[in-house]
Amino acid sequence: MSVVSTIEASCRDCYKCVRHCPVKAIRVSNGHAEVIGDRCLEDGHCVAICPQQAKRVESDAGLVMEFIKSGAKTAAGIAPSFAADLGLEDPGQLVTALKKIGFAFVEETAEGAEWVAKEHLRLVKEATGPVITSCCPVIVNLLEIYYPHLLPYLAPVVSPMTAHGRMMKKRHGKETKVVFIGPCIAKKGERRREENKGIIDAVLTFAELNQVLSAEGIDPALLEPGMFDREEAKSAHAFAVPGGLARSAPLSTDLLAEDVITVDGLEECLSFLEKFAEVKKDFRLIELLACRGGCVMGPGMKTGLSAYARRNKVLDYANNRRRGRELTGEEEKTVPAMAEGAVPVDLYREYTARAVEDPEGGEQPSEEEIRRILARTGKLKPADELNCGACGYNSCRDKAIAVAKGMAEIDMCIPYMRAKAESRADLICRAAPNAILVVSSDLKVLELNPAAEKMLYCRNEEVKGKDLKSILDPKAFAEVLRTKKMVTGEAFYPAYGLAVWQAIFYVETEDVLIGILIDITNEKQQRERLDMVTRETLEKAREVIDKQMRVAQEIAGLLGETTAETKVLLTKLIKLIVNEEGEEK
């Protein structure tokens, strides 16, 4: 598992990390970049260049604070590059800040670097072939994974961090928690190696240290400078700049001029190692540094200074330390040959070849499969292969091979996806049954689709660049341009006898207006006819109702007269019957 991982929610499919990873230890799956742990060099460059800050680095900040708050005796080893990062008037202010956090001991890793440099010098004098420096953990990872056949040339010497960690454990007790603070992300992976367990207990980058200081409310710039607990280092304060190891050893001027080479920058190191067989006879010491500009350009630095400014700060600090020793009468001596047993701790280490048969994974695809994958992105012949590198691979063929091995996706081809999107957008616009107009901010016609040509009786090439008013009343478009708000609703254009439902809106990113017009002329005519029929029907209904009312009134009148007559007749009949009955009685 790599110390670097991807925050999927933040990854925006830009493939920048793929482009900048020289060993392509990144797999793109479901649109997200995934770091492949057993192939990652842990150089951290992908962290530094990610525009979305989608790469997460394993942090030991919480672990360090647990050590301190638990009361454990905790020691800090500060990398030689610290003078370039902090922007302090006096580097001793950092010592005070670390003591204020709770560190019991604060020492310079330059002490370990000095012994490592001496050991390299001894190896150079004894070796029959070239010696590759082993101080940079990224270079160690590079050789173990990708150049295992060159491991015999890699100095079997621990890094300055590990050397100093062993010294601090020996000096302060095995129970002491040792924390390395530096510019390197790969040191986190180095700490986790089996052979380093129990030596370095935590690793903080300078950026993480700054976060810890902020969380604790400590500003080193406001503190009085303190003193490192040991002042043993004499010549390794410039170890962090290219050539620092050779300077720290020190190597003779003649040897430096003829037999020593420093290569900084991972791409440059890869190029050198590819030609190693041709050049190895020319050198006795080969200093390889993954970061261009040396450790002062490590991805764990928080400063924004240039490489030149950082280098000068480290050299100024180294020179000031040298002048300080001169003022106190301490002599600057050439490092003598080391006597047997003079080394304070064991500096020896071994390496493990971790090579994968195919660093990109999977079997080598056949030529037929490669051509089939290329064809899926419209690359039917060599001339179609742009080799633009936007996907992160050096060529379209390399990317097709990565797709076959599951390391990349077809859709990573940006020119292809753009052409595909444009063709789809063009297809949609051309096939749309409704008129689509694209108008510039000065109300000139930029584009019409076929439906608009048909609706407005014009051709796109004839009206392109002309004022909108030459084909259409621009009033609604001008309103949208003024308010930047969408206008929707019905409109009527008398020149064409055209009724439309229109939506007009402004696209700020392109500074254009887009109008979508739907012809509703027939619908409107049908609606008008329906309205007329409705009005006529209502009028007829009113006439029928009026007539019915009159008939009802006439019928009621007749019924009233008839009822009255019936009542008179019946009354007379009753009286007659009553009288007759009375006479009988």
Predicted confidence band of residue 289 (pLDDT cuts 50, 70, 90):
very high
| In a domain? residue 570 | no
The pLDDT tens digits for 39-64 are: 999 999 999 999 999 999 999 999 99
* Summary mean pLDDT of the chain: 87
Pairing of strands 202-205, 445-448: unpaired
Q: What is the pLDDT of residue 337?
A: 42
**48 and 172, same domain (yes or no):** no
**425 and 480, same domain (yes or no):** no
- Residue 362 has a CB neighbour count (10 Å cut-off) of 13
- Percent of the chain past pLDDT 90, that is, above it, reads 58
Predicted confidence band of residue 355 (pLDDT cuts 50, 70, 90):
confident
DSSP 576: H
Q: Which two tokens mark 106?
A: 């604060």
User: For residue 227, which of 81, 91, 86 has the smallest C-alpha distance?
Assistant: 91
Predicted confidence band of residue 324 (pLDDT cuts 50, 70, 90):
low
Across 363-387, average pLDDT: 89
**115 and 189, same domain (yes or no):** yes
- Residue 581 has a CB neighbour count (10 Å cut-off) of 9
Residue ending a domain, choose from 431, 451, 469: 431
Angle formed at CA 331 by CA 325 and CA 336, multiple of 5 degrees: 125
User: For residue 75, which of 97, 106, 112 has the smallest C-alpha distance?
Assistant: 106
The pLDDT tens digits for 178-203 are: 999 999 999 999 999 999 989 999 99
Range scoring the smallest mean pLDDT among 379-388, 558-567, 576-585: 576-585
- Position 585 pLDDT exceeds 70: no
- Percent of the chain past pLDDT 70, that is, above it, reads 93
Range scoring the smallest mean pLDDT among 310-324, 351-365, 438-452: 351-365
Q: What is the pLDDT of residue 581?
A: 58
Q: Rounded distance, CA 19 to CA 327, Å?
A: 51
Q: Rounded distance, CA 279 to CA 560, Å?
A: 134
User: For residue 290, which of 159, 109, 153, 114 has the smallest C-alpha distance?
Assistant: 159
The pLDDT tens digits for 332-344 are: 444 444 444 467 8
Phi, psi of 428 (to 5 degrees): -60, -45
Q: What is the pLDDT of residue 293?
A: 92
| In a domain? residue 358 | no
Upstream peptide bond of 250 is cis (omega within 30 degrees of 0): yes
**31 and 99, same domain (yes or no):** no
- Position 279 pLDDT exceeds 80: yes
Residue ending a domain, choose from 465, 488, 519: 519
User: For residue 21, which of 467, 393, 559 has the smallest C-alpha distance?
Assistant: 393
- Position 570 pLDDT exceeds 80: no
Alpha helix positions (H), 352-405: 367-376, 396-404
Q: Which residues contact 399 (CB under 8 A, 6 or more apart)?
A: 391, 392, 393, 408, 412, 413
- What's 6's domain CATH number? 3.30.70.20
Predicted confidence band of residue 254 (pLDDT cuts 50, 70, 90):
very low
- What's 127's domain CATH number? 3.40.50.1780
Structural domain of residue 31, as residue ranges? 1-58
Q: Rounded distance, CA 425 to CA 3, Å?
A: 42
Q: What is the pLDDT of residue 251?
A: 66
**232 and 287, same domain (yes or no):** yes
Q: Rounded distance, CA 221 to CA 242, Å?
A: 28
Phi, psi of 122 (to 5 degrees): -60, -45
Predicted confidence band of residue 27 (pLDDT cuts 50, 70, 90):
very high
Q: Rounded distance, CA 202 to CA 178, Å?
A: 7
The pLDDT tens digits for 81-122 are: 998 877 778 888 999 999 999 999 999 999 999 999 999 999
**81 and 53, same domain (yes or no):** no
Across 529-537, average pLDDT: 79
| In a domain? residue 115 | yes
Alpha carbon 198 to its chain's center:
35
**200 and 289, same domain (yes or no):** yes
Q: Which two tokens mark 547?
A: 């007539």
**143 and 262, same domain (yes or no):** yes
Looking at the 3D structure of the chain, how many domains does it have?
4
**514 and 487, same domain (yes or no):** yes
- What's 423's domain CATH number? 1.10.15
Q: What is the pLDDT of residue 331?
A: 47
- Residue 580 to residues 570, 571, 574, 577, 583: CA-CA distances in angstroms? 15, 14, 10, 5, 5
Across 74-80, average pLDDT: 95
Q: Rounded distance, CA 81 to CA 190, Å?
A: 18
Range scoring the smallest mean pLDDT among 151-165, 422-436, 474-488: 422-436
Q: Which two tokens mark 190?
A: 């180095």
**49 and 70, same domain (yes or no):** no
What's the chain's Rg over C-alpha atoms? Answer: 44
Across 458-483, average pLDDT: 92
**279 and 163, same domain (yes or no):** yes
Q: What is the pLDDT of residue 583?
A: 53
| In a domain? residue 256 | yes
Q: What is the pLDDT of residue 456?
A: 93
| In a domain? residue 100 | yes
The pLDDT tens digits for 191-249 are: 999 999 899 999 999 999 999 999 999 999 999 999 999 877 777 888 989 888 877 87
| In a domain? residue 332 | no
- Position 404 pLDDT exceeds 60: yes
Predicted confidence band of residue 253 (pLDDT cuts 50, 70, 90):
very low
Angle formed at CA 435 by CA 432 and CA 436, multiple of 5 degrees: 85
Residue ending a domain, choose from 37, 58, 79: 58
| In a domain? residue 165 | yes
Q: What is the pLDDT of residue 370?
A: 93
Amino acid sitting at position 175: E
DSSP 51: T
Q: Rounded distance, CA 370 to CA 373, Å?
A: 5
- Position 467 pLDDT exceeds 90: yes
**203 and 99, same domain (yes or no):** yes
Q: Rounded distance, CA 122 to CA 347, Å?
A: 12
- In sequence order, what are the beta bridge partners of 260? 285
User: For residue 432, which of 526, 527, 498, 515 has the smallest C-alpha distance?
Assistant: 515
- Residue 469 has a CB neighbour count (10 Å cut-off) of 14
| In a domain? residue 154 | yes
Q: Number of helices and strands (H, E) in the chain?
A: 21, 16
More confident residue, 414 or 256: 414
More confident residue, 265 or 252: 265
Phi, psi of 74 (to 5 degrees): -125, 130
- What's 439's domain CATH number? 3.30.450.20
Q: Rounded distance, CA 583 to CA 231, Å?
A: 161
- Position 573 pLDDT exceeds 80: no
